[in-house]
Chain A
Amino acid sequence: MPRMPKRVKFRKQMRGKLQEKASRANYVAFGDYGLQALEPHWVSARQIEAGRIAAQHFLRREGKVTIRIFPDKPISKKPLETRMGKGKAEVDYWAARVRAGTILYEISGVSEDMARAALARIARKMPIRCRFVGKRLSV
């Protein structure tokens, strides 16, 4: 089931402007390896769910997959062959705002090769270019 918020303040939102670069959530925090977005984009709830299922099918019962993004933005869409006007359209789907650098998924409890293969399968489900990353230096 695609994810969405349980409660919202307003039913619809303005489109907004997607910032280019991530200044937070841009490093692997919960797992050992991660999948990082290299472009800004709206990632729909269905795409996030497709990625999760692809990884879990591949890993079977090994490891743990953490999803770092949540689709909290309602995207509305007018039906086909509709005249313009008559107010804002109904919500079509929910999306997560992803900036370049955001970590999308993290995996822990498996070897690096397994994590690479699982994250490559997730990357195929994403609408953007992604890359595999490990934990960064810390002091």
Chain B
Amino acid sequence: MAQKNNTLDVATRERTGTRYARRLRESGRMPAVVYGQGGDPTHVSADAIEIVNTLKSGGHVLDVRIDGGKTETCLVKELQFGHLGDNLVHVDLARVNLDQVVTVNVPVTLTGSPKAAQADGAMLAVIRSEIEIRCKVRDIPSEIKADISELEEALTIGELNIPDGVEALLDSEKHICHIAFQAAEEEAEGEATEADGEGAEPEVITEAKPEAEGDEG
């Protein structure tokens, strides 16, 4: 809430395309693009470690300083990953106004451990680790905290301490987390033998059924 944005220094990219982007990544920089608000899209690059650390610190809004000159307020719009799913390869930065209303996902941080989850067979099931919110850019919280040490059954979106000016888009009855009990069947399944499954075959839906034809004739 009204916090100071992280500043990211970027440099304009002279050349674009797969080959040049790959060379850029090999040299320790991350390709990115700045676009929006009627301005021309600008292809930029930032220090890879710096940009990852900035994103990990939870800031959605960045003050992007292009070539050490003009600073633009940008929202991290999209992240692109490589095939291993966690290696960041590209970042989209959208120019925004601080009074513009946007929709973003914000992480929900749960603190404390509920006593109900320590009962035999019980566990804390976290359904959503982040929620979608709509608010002004200046009001985007870095996280929403919830204390669950007194949790008995479930924590819903309606029970979260959502700051003023921020609206959760999901139904207020949806669960963030709840206490789940593992069924007795599931335990037995762990010991299941293979004897009953060896001869089983799936039903073939395109196969002709000669027995049925014989009955009719």
A interface with B by C-beta (< 8 Å): 1-2, 4-11, 21-23, 26-27, 32, 36, 38, 46, 52-53, 56-57, 61-64, 91, 99-101, 103, 108-109, 133, 135-139
Q: Does B17 contact A (CB under 8 A)?
A: no
Query: Is B83 a contact partner of A1 (Cβ separation < 8 A)?
Result: no
- 12 contacts across the A-B interface (CB closer than 8 A): A1-B192, A5-B202, A7-B205, A21-B83, A26-B84, A36-B85, A57-B190, A64-B125, A101-B85, A135-B129, A137-B56, A138-B130
- Give A68 Cβ to nearest chain B Cβ, in Å: 12
Query: Is A1 a contact partner of B196 (Cβ separation < 8 A)?
Result: yes
Task: Give B29-48 interface residues, CB cut-off 8 Å to A.
Answer: none
Partner of B123, one of A56, A100, A109, A139: A109
Q: Which residue of A lies closest to B187 (CB)?
A: A61
- Cα distance, A133 to B84, chains bound together (Å): 10
Task: Return the 3 tightest CB-CB contacts between A and B, nearest first.
Answer: A1-B197, A26-B85, A21-B83
Query: Is A64 a contact partner of B123 (Cβ separation < 8 A)?
Result: yes
Contacts of A10 in B (CB 8 A): 204, 206
- Cα distance, A1 to B204, chains bound together (Å): 20
Partner of A139, one of B78, B124, B180, B196: B78
Query: Is A101 a contact partner of B206 (Cβ separation < 8 A)?
Result: no
B76, B85, B120, B194 interface centre (most CB from chain A within 10 Å)? B85
- Cα distance, A26 to B197, chains bound together (Å): 30
Query: Is A61 a contact partner of B120 (Cβ separation < 8 A)?
Result: yes
Contacts of B197 in A (CB 8 A): 1-2
Known: A10-B206, A61-B182. A32 touches B126 (CB 8 A): yes
Contacts of B98 in A (CB 8 A): none
Partner of A1, one of B55, B78, B86, B194: B194
Contacts of B107 in A (CB 8 A): 138
Query: Is B84 a contact partner of A101 (Cβ separation < 8 A)?
Result: yes
18 more A-B residue pairs beyond the given contacts A46-B194, A137-B55, A139-B76, with a C-beta to C-beta distance below 8 A? A4-B202, A7-B204, A8-B202, A9-B204, A9-B206, A22-B85, A57-B190, A61-B121, A61-B123, A62-B123, A63-B123, A64-B180, A99-B83, A101-B83, A103-B85, A109-B180, A133-B86, A138-B130
Contacts of A138 in B (CB 8 A): 79, 105, 107, 130
Known: A103-B85, A133-B85. A139 touches B79 (CB 8 A): yes
- Give B38 Cβ to nearest chain A Cβ, in Å: 23
Range class of the B interface residue count: 35 or more
Task: Give B134-174 interface residues, CB cut-off 8 Å to A.
Answer: none
Query: Is B200 a contact partner of A137 (Cβ separation < 8 A)?
Result: no
Contacts of A61 in B (CB 8 A): 120-121, 123, 182, 187
- Cα distance, A131 to B187, chains bound together (Å): 27
Q: Which residue of A lies closest to B104 (CB)?
A: A139
- Give B106 Cβ to nearest chain A Cβ, in Å: 10
Q: Does B22 contact A (CB under 8 A)?
A: no
Query: Is A7 a contact partner of B203 (Cβ separation < 8 A)?
Result: yes
Contacts of B187 in A (CB 8 A): 61
Known: A9-B204, A62-B123. A56 touches B86 (CB 8 A): no
Q: Does B116 contact A (CB under 8 A)?
A: no
Contacts of B56 in A (CB 8 A): 137
- Cα distance, A9 to B206, chains bound together (Å): 6
